[in-house]
Amino acid sequence: MTIQFLPLVSIGVPTYNRPKTLEKTLASLVRQTYPNIEIIVSDNCSPTPDTEQVVREYMERDSRIRYFKQERNIGVFYNFKFVFDVSTGDYFTWAADDDTRADNYIEACMNIFQQADQSSELLLVNSYSQMVDPNLQHVLKVDRGCTTVGLKPSQRYYRYLSSIYTEQAAIGDLIYGVIKSQPLKEVMEKQPNILDWDHIFLATLAIEGEFLSIPEPLMTSSPGGMSTLQDAKKMAKIQLIQNPLYINKAQWVRCLFLQQRVWSSSKIFIFNKIKLSIWVIFDTLVKHFMRSSSKIKVKVNN
């Protein structure tokens, strides 16, 4: 199939002051075997010119790259939102500025979409990913993602949320899958800027359609974490979150938004809404005690 008949895939790269790792990320993106892509880099007002220099060098070699530099730091969430808002593709994927992907990552994901039945509810495709120690270069964990194909909306919602922080999805790289742009837009329009915003986003998206994780590690991510209130305060600062309730009671704020997503959905029957609502409260209590006793890994990127 020639390039003009291939759907355009937009790749959004929100970044801040990490030129060395950004260079590796861009190198892996321009090597993608799927040709019809655009790469959108949003520099969140980095204090030195190094980030822009790296991007400009790649722009000279690849016309598919677009570069934006924010006049002021707009926070992590809004930088993620910005790269999507300016995208033009039928499909979209975020790329962290310290992660890399196999050369055939986009092609493998798009092959799944193109092979899907016309009546398919498939919205997101990603692959297994590996968390690699940047110094020792050995694999720390493998994220096996979350496949919900064939499940009902309430089951998809439960499958996704119940996989968070388990061994199979401890890294949380599902957010970096290839997603259909239209449903992504509809979900992002009502997405709040809170800690763990990506979990609210993905839980909502799970109600709307299906996820599929390719059982092959086509992505490599770097360690990142948030386990204490102090960590949460640091992350809130990066996200420009000022509401103390959103910081000090982050788990319960998350719980409220998850409840709202269930009760506002027309795709979930009332009986299942009640069951899911009770489960979300119970799950929040369990995770509250888990976070008090152990370090929970959450992907953190600019």
Q: Give the separation between CA 242 and CA 81, rounded to whole angstroms.
A: 19
- Out of 3.90.1150.10, 3.90.550.10, 3.30.360.10, 3.40.50.720, the CATH code matching 3-221 is 3.90.550.10
Query: Could you tell me which of 184, 192, 191, 188 has the C-alpha nearest to residue 209?
Result: 184
Which of the four pLDDT bands, split at 50, 70 and 90, describes residue 12?
very high
Could you say which DSSP state residue 7 is in? P
pLDDT tens, 84-116? Answer: 999 999 999 999 999 999 999 999 999 999 998
Euclidean distance between CA atoms 302 and 282, whole angstroms: 31
- Tally the C-alpha atoms within 13 A of residue 263's C-alpha that lie toward its C-beta: 10
Which single residue is written with the structure tokens 């990913």? 129
Contact 194, 254 (CB under 8 A): yes
Q: pLDDT per residue over 169-227, tens digit each? A: 656 789 999 999 999 999 999 999 988 899 999 999 999 999 999 999 999 987 764 44
Q: Determine how many CB atoms are found less than 10 A away from the CB of residue 43.
A: 24
For residue 189, the 8-state DSSP code is: T
> Rounded to two decimals, what is the model's pTM?
0.89
Of the candidates 109, 281, 265, the residue with the CA atom closest to the CA atom of residue 187: 265
* Residue partners of 164: CB distance under 8 A and separation at least 6: 172, 199
Instruction: Please tell me the distance from the alpha carbon of residue 214 to that of residue 206, in angstroms, as a whole number.
Output: 17
Q: What is the largest CA-CA distance in the chain?
A: 57
Neighbours of 58 (CB within 10 A): 19
Render pLDDT for 121-147 as a digit per residue (tens, 0 to 9). Answer: 999 999 999 888 777 778 888 888 999
Domain ranges of the chain: 3-221, 229-293
